[in-house]
Structure 1
Amino acid sequence: MVGSSKTASKVAVLLGGPSSEREVSLATGGACAAALREAGYEVVEVDAGRDLAARLTEIAPDVVFNALHGPYGEDGTVQGLLEWMGLPYTHSGVLASALAMDKQRSKEIFKAAGLPVMQSILAPKADVMAAHVMAPPYVVKPNNEGSSVGVYLVHEAANGPPPLSADMPDVVMVETFAPGRELTTTVMGDRALTVTDILTDGWYDYDAKYKEGGSRHVVPADIPQEIFDACLDMAKRAHDALGCRGVSRTDFRWDEARGMDGLIILEVNTQPGMTGTSLSPEQGQAVGISFPELCAWMVEDASCQR
Structure 2
Amino acid sequence: MSIFDQKIDAARLGKVAVLMGGDSAEREISLLSGNGVLKALRSRGVDAQGWDTGERPLAQLASEKIDRCFIALHGRHGEDGTVQGALELLGIPYTGPGVMASAIAMDKTMAKRIWRFEGLPTPDWRLVTSAAGVAQAFAALGAPMIVKPVREGSTLGLTKVLSADQCAEAYRLAASHDPEVLCEQFIDGDETTCALVGQGQGARALPLIRIVAPQGNYDFQNKYFTDVVRYDCPSGLPAEEEAAIQQLSLAAYRTLACRGWARTDIMVRATDRKPFLLEINTSPGMTGHSLVPMAARACGVAYEDLCLAILAGASLDAWQGRGGRT
TM surpasses 0.5: yes
Q: How many residues align?
A: 303
Contact 1:207 1:214 in 2 (8 A): no
1:297 match: 309
1:97 match: 102
Match of 1:154 among 161, 169, 175: 161
Q: Label 1:254 to 1:129 Cα distance change in 2 as closer, same or farther (>3 A).
A: closer
Match of 1:11 among 12, 16, 35: 16
Cα offset for 1:256?
2.9
Contact 1:3 1:296 in 2 (8 A): no
**Equivalent residue of 1:80, what SS?**
helix
The runs of at least 4 consecutive aligned structure 1 residues that moved more than 3 Å come to 128-134, 157-160
State the TM-score, normalizing by the size of structure 2.
0.89
**Equivalent residue of 1:52, what SS?**
coil
- 2:90 and 2:139 mapped to 1: Cα distance? 44
Match of 1:187 among 183, 190, 196: 196
**Equivalent residue of 1:53, what SS?**
coil
2:184 match: 175
Gapped regions of structure 2 (runs ≥ 5): 319-326
- 2:223 and 2:125 mapped to 1: Cα distance? 24
> What does residue range 7-46 of structure 1 map to in structure 2 within 5 Å?
7-46=12-51
- Larger CA deviation: 223-232 vs 14-23: 223-232
AA at the equivalent of 1:240 = R
> What does residue range 250-265 of structure 1 map to in structure 2 within 5 Å?
250-259=264-273, 262-265=274-277
Given the alignment of the two structures, is residue 196 of structure 1 paired with residue 205 of structure 2, yes or no?
A: no
Contact 1:143 1:172 in 2 (8 A): yes
Fraction of identical pairs, as percent: 38
Q: Label 1:120 to 1:170 Cα distance change in 2 as closer, same or farther (>3 A).
A: same
Gapped regions of structure 1 (runs ≥ 5): none
2:324 match: none
AA at the equivalent of 1:171 = E
Q: Label 1:56 to 1:280 Cα distance change in 2 as closer, same or farther (>3 A).
A: same
Contact 1:3 1:300 in 2 (8 A): no
- 2:165 and 2:224 mapped to 1: Cα distance? 31
1:229 match: 243
The Cα RMSD (Å) is 1.7
Cα offset for 1:51?
4.4
Contact 2:188 2:270 in 1 (8 A): no
- 1:139 and 1:174 mapped to 2: Cα distance? 6
AA at the equivalent of 2:213 = T
